[in-house]
Amino acid sequence: MPLLINLGKTITLVAWLMMIYNLIIPFDGNVAIILNILLGITSMMHCFQVAIFHMLFKNLLPLNKKDYLQVFIFGIFSLLVYRQRVLATTNAQENYQQ
């Protein structure tokens, strides 16, 4: 699972870099327009994921700005990492109580 998460993070980072590069030096033709639209959609979706992250994890983990930035950049792949961290903490607490 960690390999898939890291692969997903890498692909997501490459996509962000392509979309931002397109803002600085636009590609030719319709590709530039499509990448600008994708950048807008991606930004909105990742903002939505940050909101979900805040609502779900604020009471379960101590969060800082770096955590929110990770979720904004990498989206679902960061959410999976934090989910694993919460599950590990919960399992450790359950084992300790037994």
Q: What is the CA radius of gyration of the chain?
A: 17
The number of CA neighbours under 13 Å toward the Cβ of 71 is 24
pLDDT in tens, 35-58: 999 999 999 999 999 999 999 888
**Tens-place pLDDT, residues 54-73:** 998 888 888 899 999 999 99
Asked if pLDDT for residue 92 goes beyond 70, the answer is: no
pTM of the model: 0.85
